[in-house]
Amino acid sequence: MSEEALEELFLFGEEKMEKALNQLRKEFGSIRSGRANPMILDKVTVDYYGAPTPLRQMSQVTVQDGITLVISPYDKSVIKDIEKALIKAEIGVAPNSDGMVIRLTFPPLTEERRREISKDVKKLGEDAKVAVRNIRRDMTDDLKKLEKSENLPEDVVKDNHDEIQKLTDKYTRMIDSAAAEKEKEVLTV
């Protein structure tokens, strides 16, 4: 029984840590770096016949020349609604429409703005590491409960504590790596 419970504890803990890492990557995707990235539009929803619809579900988004996003709606009658949604989303770029497509041209970031974004990236990375450490704490608490309920031997408990720490270290390194990569991307002109 205790073997299965320990395995479940690790599977559940690793799954939560993976979710924390994936959430961080998703947030990094919506942070603007020097080039145009369609993921910045992931949070934009358009009022489409009374239903809030994600922009990327109702149009094709392509990157043109590295600094311009071209949005081609499948239904051309909603171009005005898409423009309103883009303005409301405050992505920092004014939409430019020709009646068929909408262009979003991203101006180069200033050095000061790059530093601000870099700070945000570091903070998101720290928040993700805090989440991973909280998961470690929960796993450790669960291990203590198992120790009492299953009368686990001391050496088994110590080995599992070490494994929990190794798992935490692994995800902390992955978060640091993702944050460093995003920071480099933001600071590169």
Residue 114 and residue 101 in one domain: no
Nearest to 17 by CA among 163, 181, 182, 186: 163
Residue 11 and residue 46 in one domain: no
CB atoms within 10 A of CB 121: 25
pLDDT confidence bin for 15, thresholds 50/70/90: very high
Give me the DSSP letters along 74-100: SSGGGHHHHHHHHHHHT-SS--EE-SS
Q: What is the pLDDT of residue 34?
A: 67
Residue 43 and residue 93 in one domain: yes
- Domain end point (choices 80, 105, 130): 105
Residue 22 and residue 89 in one domain: no
Residue 124 and residue 154 in one domain: yes
Which single residue is written with the structure tokens 């050496």? Answer: 155
The predicted-structure confidence for 48-90, as pLDDT tens digits, reads as follows 888 888 888 888 988 887 788 898 999 888 888 888 888 888 7
Q: What is the CATH number of the domain that holds 58?
A: 3.30.1360.40
Q: What is the pLDDT of residue 189?
A: 66
* Percent of the chain whose pLDDT exceeds 90: 34
Question: Between β-strands 45-48 and 59-64, what pairing exists: parallel, antiparallel or unpaired?
Answer: unpaired
Two tokens at 35?
Answer: 């080039």
Q: What are the residues facing 152 on neighbouring strands? A: none
User: Which structural domain range is residue 72 located in?
Assistant: 38-105
pLDDT confidence bin for 4, thresholds 50/70/90: confident
Residue 115 and residue 101 in one domain: no
Q: How many domains does the chain have?
A: 2
Name, in order, each residue with C-beta under 8 angstroms of 125's C-beta and a sequence gap of 6 or more: 24, 175, 176, 178, 179
Residue type, 10: F
Residue 13 and residue 65 in one domain: no
Q: What is the CATH number of the domain that holds 121?
A: 1.10.132.20
- Domain end point (choices 85, 105, 125): 105
Q: What is the pTM of this model?
A: 0.74
